Structure 1
Amino acid sequence: MPHLRLFSLLLLLLAGALAARAQPKTPADFGYRHLTMRYQGDTVNILVLSKKGEELKRKPVFLFVQGSMPQPVIMYDEKGAFPLLPFDTDTLLTRYHLVEISKPGIPVVAHTRTLTPSYAYLDPKTGQVPLAYCQRNYLEYYVARDAAVLRYLTHQPWVRADDITAMGHSEGSNVVARLARHPGPLRRVVYLSGSPLGRMLTVISGNRQEADSAGAENNFAYWKQVVASPKENNCLGDTHLLVSSLSSTQTPLDDFLHSKIPVFVGYGTRDRSALLEDYMRLEMIRAGKTNLTFRAYPELEHNFMGFTNGVVDQKKWNWDRVAHDFFTWMKSTK
C-alpha cells in the first residue's frame, strides 16, 4: 500500500509538471507588463519593459516601432526569450521605460516552433497571415494607432509625458517619420534605414545596384498594378494597400520637411536606400532644416552589419555603436 501511495504521488507530480509546461507563456513570465487599450473597436496590446523595481517610477518612454514582419513582440525557445531590441538595453532601461506595440492579429508571445524560419506568425488553419493583420497592415493605420497609444501613455502616472521618443527601423521608420510630422506628445524621433522617397523607389534602387534590369522592369510593371488598384488587399504578401501606403506622394522626405521636433537619421552607406538618404540630407540643407541630425555609417548594410569579402558578415554587428550615437544625441535634445 505505501508503494501504491508513492506511485500515485509521483503520477500527480508528473501530471502537475506537464500541465505547468503546457501552460501558455505570458509577458509577465519574461518580465514585461502587458497593457491593453481599445482603438477602432480592437484591443491593442502594449508591452512595457522596465528596470526591475522601477516599473512604476516616473520616467521618459522609448517607443520601438516594429518593422515589416508579422512577428510576436516576445519570441522564445528552450533557452529563453529573444532580446526585444538588437542592441543592449541595460543603459536604456536605466533612464527609460521601453514600450512596444504588438502587430494587429499577431500573438503577443510565441515559441519559435510555432513560427516560420523567419519568425513570422501564420494562422495555423490557413497557413496565411491572420485576416486581422492584413486588413490593418498599412501605414495610415499604424500611424493613427500609435498616435492613440502615445496619448494613452501620457495619462499613465509612470510616464514622463514631456519626454517620449519613438524609434523606427526599416518599415517602422515610415511610421515614426509621419509621427514626426504630427508629433502630439512625441518629443523626438530616431529614423533608421528608411525609404525617404517611398518603398518602391528603394526596391528599384536595389535592383539597379545589383544590375538586375529585369527585376527593375518587373517592379515598374507591378507599380502600374498598384496604382491601378491601390486599395486591393488579398492578404497575400505585400498587398497593394500596404505598398501604396508606403509609396505615396507624401514620403518621409515630405514628412520631415514639415517636422519641427528633433530627428536622428541613421543609415549604412551600403544600404540600397543610402543614395536616397543622401538626397534627403541635401534637401534638408536646401530647406534650411536644422532639426535633423544625419549619421551615415560607412560600409554597413540595412541592418548595420559589415561585409567580409563582399558578403554580409553577421559577426560584424554594429547596433550597439548606432545605439550609442542616438542615445548621445537624445541627451543633447532635452
Structure 2
Amino acid sequence: MIKLCKVSLNVKMLFLIFFLFFLKSFGQINELKEIGFDKVELKTKSDTIVFIRSINRDNTTKPTIIFLQGSLPLPIVFKDKEEFFTLFPFKTAEYLDKYNLILIARKGIPLLGEFQRDANGYKDANGYVPLEYIKYDNLTYRVLQTREVLNFLYKQKWVDKKAIYVVGHSEGYRVAAKLSENNKKITKLVCMSADPFNRSTEEILKYRLDSYTQSNDSISQNAINDITKNFLSIGKIEEYKKDADLYNWSSYNSELTFNSFKKFNNPILVIYGTNDLTAFHNDLLLFLLKDKRDFFVKAYPDYDHNFFKKEFDEDGNLVEDSYNWDTVFRDTVNWLETGKLD
C-alpha cells in the first residue's frame, strides 16, 4: 500500500507539473495569437530554433520578411502590465494581412519576458545572462540559425519564393549580410544601422573623434594601433571556440561586412541615421561598391541608431525625442515592393 501511495502521489505530482506547464504554454500561445503571431519550434539534427510568425489562417501564399534584431539578450515577446507586444521595433498591424513576418528568438533566452524586468537584457534567477546565450552569441551561429529558418520557410506553401526579404538591424545588419552570400533564396536584402566594415572600425572612429575634441591624439592613436594590431592577428575563428567572448569578438571582426554585399546578386538597400556614429562609414559604400548593380543607400538626417530624432520647441528647448521606426520601415517596405526610394 505504501508503494502504491507513493506511486499515486508521484503520478499526481507529474500530472500537476504537466498541467501547470500546459496552462503556461497554452496561455503564451493564446497571448501570441491575440497580437497576431504563432510560435514555431524548428527542430534540426543538432538544434531547436524558436521563432514567431504572423498568423496566416488560410496559409495564403504571401511575401515574407525575416527581421534580424540586434545584439542584446532580449525576449522577442514582452508583457507590460496586461499588454503584450513583440520585439519588432515598428508597428506590425499594417503588415499582418499582406506579409509573413518572422522574428527569431535568441538562443538561451525565453520567448516571453517582463518588460520592466527584461527590457535592458534578460538575466536568470541568479542575475546572470544565461550561459547558453553566451555560448551561441556569435556571427557563425546566428547565420546558421537564420539559414535554417530561411530553408524551412522556402519549403512552405504559404511563402512566396519570389518574395523573401531579409532585414537586419544593428548586429542583425552583419548577420543579414553574411547570410546573403551566394544565397539565391533571398529576393532582397536590407541592412540598417551598423558599420559596413566591422566592430573594430567603429571603435577606431570613436577614438579618432575623441582625439579631435579632447586633444589627446597620442593616447587615441595608441588605442587605434592596438585595435588594428588585434584585427590583423585574427586567425581562423574556430581556434577561439573554447572562449565564448573571444569567439564572439573574432566572429564579428574577422571579415569586412561590405565584402558580403559583393557576393549577393539581388537588390540591396542600406539604411542609417546620420546621428548614429556606429553607422558613419556607410557614407563610403557607394565609393566601395560603385560598380554593383541594384545597390542603394538611404541616409536619414538627424536620426540615431534606433531612428530617434531630437526635437526642439519654438524656443530651442529640447523636448522628447521623436520615434521614427514606423516611417523608416514604411519606406523600407515601399522599396521592397517597388524598388524605389523617396
- TM bin, normalised by shorter chain, reads 0.7 to 0.9
1:100-179 superposed matches below 5 A: 100-115=103-118, 118=120, 120-125=121-126, 127-179=127-179
Question: How far apart, in 2, do the equivalents of 1:319 and 1:312 lie?
Answer: 20
Could you tell me whether the CA contact under 8 Å between 1:50 and 1:96 is conserved in 2?
A: no
- Please say if residues 269 and 298 of structure 1, whose CA atoms lie closer than 8 Å, have aligned partners that are also in contact: yes
d(CA) in 2 for partners of 1:313, 1:266: 25
Q: Which runs of 5+ in 1 are unaligned?
A: 1-18
Match of 1:11 in 2: none
Trace 1:157-306 onto structure 2 (pairs within 5 A).
Answer: 157-210=157-210, 211=213, 217-218=222-223, 221=226, 227=233, 231=240, 239-248=245-254, 250-285=255-290, 288-306=291-309
Shift of 1:30: 2.2
Which secondary structure does the structure 2 equivalent of 1:110 belong to? strand
Question: Hey, what's the Cα distance between the residues in 2 that align with 1:50 and 1:41?
Answer: 27
- Give the letter aligned to residue 292 of structure 1: F
- On the 8 A contact 2:166/2:189 being kept in 1, the answer is yes
| 8 Å Cα contact 1:180-1:188 kept in structure 2 | no
- How far off is 1:70 after superposition? 0.7
Alignment partner of 1:84 is 2:87? yes
Query: Following the alignment from structure 1 to structure 2, what is the Cα–Cα distance between the partners of residues 225 and 135?
Result: 22
CA separation in 2, counterparts of 1:312 and 1:259?
Answer: 43
CA, structure 1 residues 23+36, in 2 after alignment: closer, same or farther (shift >3 Å)? closer
Distance 1:90 1:216, change over 3 A: farther
CA contact (8 A) 2:308 2:322 kept: yes
Structure 1 residues 19-62: Cα deviation after superposition (integer angstroms, max 9, x where no partner): 89x946414312221111123512110211236xx462221111
TM-score, length-scaled by structure 1: 0.81
Q: Deviations over 1:95-154 (max 9, x none)?
A: 101111110111111223552x51x112223x3221221111111111122111111111
* 2:334 match: secondary structure: helix
Identity of aligned residues (%): 27
Q: Tell me which residue corresponds to 2:30.
A: 28
When structure 1 is superposed on structure 2, of 308-317 and 142-151 the one drifting more is 308-317
**1:105 partner letter:** G
Cα distance between partner residues in 2 of 1:144 and 1:312: 44
**Residue aligned with 1:168, SS:** strand
2:274 alignment partner AA: T
SS where residue 203 of structure 1 aligns?
helix
The whole-number CA distance in structure 1 between the counterparts of 2:191 and 2:206 is 20
* Contact 2:274–2:304 (8 Å) recurs in 1: yes
CA distance in 2: counterparts of 1:243 and 1:312, whole angstroms: 37
Q: 8 Å contact 2:182–2:264 — kept in the other structure? A: yes
Query: SS at the partner of 1:47?
Result: strand
- Mapped to 2, the partners of 1:225 and 1:66 lie a distance apart of 27
How much has 1:274 moved relative to structure 2?
Answer: 3.9
Amino acid at match of 1:276: H
Q: Against the structure 1 CA distance between its residues 221 and 123, is the aligned structure 2 distance closer, same or farther, given a 3 Å change threshold?
A: farther
For 1:39, the equivalent position in structure 2 comes to 44
Equivalents in 2 of 1:108, 1:56: separation in Å? Answer: 24
Task: Report the counterpart of residue 58 of structure 1 in structure 2.
Answer: 61
Q: Equivalents in 2 of 1:215, 1:307: separation in Å?
A: 29
- Residues 170-192 of structure 1 show CA distances to partners (whole Å, capped at 9, x for unaligned) of 00000111122232411111110
Please tell me the residue identity of whatever aligns with 2:103. Answer: E
SS of the residue corresponding to residue 143 of structure 1 reads helix
Q: Quick check: 1:73 aligned with 2:76?
A: yes
Counterpart code for 2:170? S
State the Cα distance separating 1:301 from its structure 2 match. 1.3
Q: Per the alignment, in what secondary structure is the counterpart of residue 37 of structure 1?
A: strand
Contact 2:310 2:321 in 1 (8 A): no
Q: How far apart, in 2, do the equivalents of 1:222 and 1:188 lie?
A: 34
Q: Any conservation in 1 of the 2:106–2:133 contact (CA below 8 Å)?
A: yes
On the 8 A contact 2:75/2:122 being kept in 1, the answer is yes
Question: Equivalent residue for 1:7?
Answer: none
Q: Could you state the TM-score of these two structures normalised by the residue count of structure 2?
A: 0.79
How many residues align? The count is: 304
User: Is contact 1:270-1:298 (8 Å) kept?
Assistant: yes
Higher alpha-carbon deviation: 205-214 or 275-284: 205-214
